[in-house]
Amino acid sequence: MDTQAIRAQLPTLVVGHVPSNVRSFKYNVFDGQPKVSALGFHIDPKPFEGKVIAKTDQAIVIKTGRAEFSVLDRSLVTEEPEEGAKVQVEPYARRRFDGLRADTPEEVTEFTADGRPYTVQRYVLGAAPAKLPIPEPQCPELRDLIQQLEQLPAPDGFRRITHLLVDANARDFTWVDPLPDDIIATPPAIGFTVTSAKFQGHVTVLYDRGADLYAVELRQGGEVVDRVDEVFFDTLGETLERLIDDGNWRLIHVQCLTGRKSTPH
């Protein structure tokens, strides 16, 4: 979507939908690019409702408030509503393995001075973690792999590698947590099953102690169908994206609430 062209057209597109006593209007553009707050943090948009007031070859314009509008990239919407329809829109938001939004405050149990437990919600500004469902390991190399998957960025720069795994429907996690003497015979590894348009099957990330590098294996029906060796820690995200990420996470989910049935994309 040509965002500059859409911005230039917006005053004309919304002029009949802004109250006569309002001199300006606000708008958000959803074009598959990450949103950034005034403080420079990546943020995850909330779902919203509105009425479709205009459509162009590239965009769908939705009125969401008295003088507020949202512009959707037409190529990314899951369903295309008719003009005049009321819709619910859910832009992409990073999620955790339990299905909750990654920016959901973390609940932590604390204790008073006399030992009584109480629950507090903790939220770190700008944080949206997706922690692997794996207990604290004893093997330092497996601990490093977990930390790298949770903290290193995916190639898009918005998600972490674990968000990429969530978007590929990663589940059924297994892990190998060897003793120091067994690290070569039984390499540290994390395995999981994914279901995406690019790959459906089992993925294993293994640590090669001899080369101090990783390998990524893809299996279907118990057979290895692809293996990438000599993967550096800083190319883990790029490798996993190429193997399992179908890009559908960028889609903007649109549901028509009133009006004629929308056209699925």
Please name which of 58, 94, 61, 63 lies closest in space to residue 75, comparing C-alpha atoms.
Answer: 58
Band of the pLDDT at 113, cuts 50, 70, 90? confident
Task: Tell me the average pLDDT across 175-204.
Answer: 95
The chain-wide mean pLDDT, for the chain, equals: 92
CA atoms within 13 A on the CB side of 126: 7
Residue 151 has pLDDT above 80, yes or no: yes
- Which is more confident, 120 or 185? 185
Tell me how far apart the alpha carbons of residues 28 and 47 are, in angstroms, rounded to a whole number: 13
| Residue 56 shares a structural domain with residue 135 | no
Non-local CB neighbours of 197 within 8 Å, separated by 6+ positions: 246, 248
**Interval 211-244: pLDDT, tens:** 899 999 999 998 999 999 999 999 999 999 999 9
Say which range, 20-34, 100-114, 177-191, has the weakest mean pLDDT.
Answer: 100-114
Q: Is the pLDDT of residue 137 over 70?
A: yes
Residues 11 and 88 in one domain: yes
Do the domain assignments include residue 108?
no
Residues spanned by the domain of 151: 129-248
Model confidence band, residue 68 (pLDDT cutoffs 50, 70, 90): very high
| Residue 170 and residue 256 in one domain | no
Cα distance between residue 157 and residue 93, in whole Å: 14
pTM: 0.88
**Is residue 111 situated within a structural domain?**
no
206 and 165 share one domain: yes
User: Which amino acid type is present at position 190?
Assistant: I
Tokens 């832009």 belong to: 91
Q: Are 257 and 52 in contact (CB under 8 A)?
A: no
pLDDT at residue 40 in the model: 82
- Give the whole-angstrom CA distance, residue 76 versus residue 62: 15
Task: Find tokens 């057979």 and name the residue.
Answer: 223
Residue pair 96/131 in contact (Cβ under 8 Å)? The answer is yes
**What is the rounded average pLDDT of the residues 107-112?**
83
Do 78 and 134 share a structural domain? no
User: Residue 264: is its pLDDT beyond 70?
Assistant: no
In a domain, 115, yes or no: no
Taking the C-alpha atoms of residue 12 and residue 85, their distance in angstroms, rounded to an integer, is: 20
Residue 105 lies in a domain: no
Same domain, 222 and 260: no
Check which CATH number belongs to the domain holding 69 and give it. 2.40.50
Residue 106 in this model has a pLDDT that exceeds 90:
no
Give the confidence band of 246 by pLDDT, cuts at 50, 70, 90. very high
Is 261's pLDDT higher than 60?
no
Same domain, 230 and 256: no
The per-residue pLDDT for range 4-37, each reduced to its tens digit, is: 899 999 999 999 999 988 889 999 999 988 888 8
pLDDT at position 124:
67
Residue with tokens 């507020």: 68
| Residue 122 falls inside a structural domain | no
Same domain, residue pair 135 and 85: no
Q: Do 24 and 41 sit in the same domain of this protein? A: yes
Q: For residue 118, is it within any domain?
A: no
- Same domain? For 185 and 221 the reply is yes
Whether 57 shows a pLDDT value over 70: the answer reads yes
Assigned domain for 202 exists: yes
SS (H, E, C) 76-143: CECEECCCCCEEEEECCCCECCCCCECCCCEEEEEECCCCCEEEEEECCCCCCCCCCCCCCCCCHHHH
Same domain, 137 and 230: yes
* E strand segments, the chain: 26-30, 35-36, 42-43, 48-55, 59-65, 68-73, 79-80, 86-90, 106-111, 117-122, 171-176, 189-195, 200-208, 213-220, 223-231, 253-256, 263-264
Residue 44 lies in a domain: yes
* Same-domain pairing of 225 and 253: no
First to last CA, the chain: 16
Q: What percent of the chain has pLDDT over 70?
A: 96
Number of structural domains found in the chain: 2
Which residues face 117 on adjacent strands?
111
When pLDDT is averaged across residues 183-187 and rounded to a whole number, the result is 91
Of the pLDDT bands very low, low, confident and very high (cuts 50, 70, 90), residue 70 is very high
- 34 sits in the region (left: phi over 0; alpha: psi -120 to 50; else beta) called beta
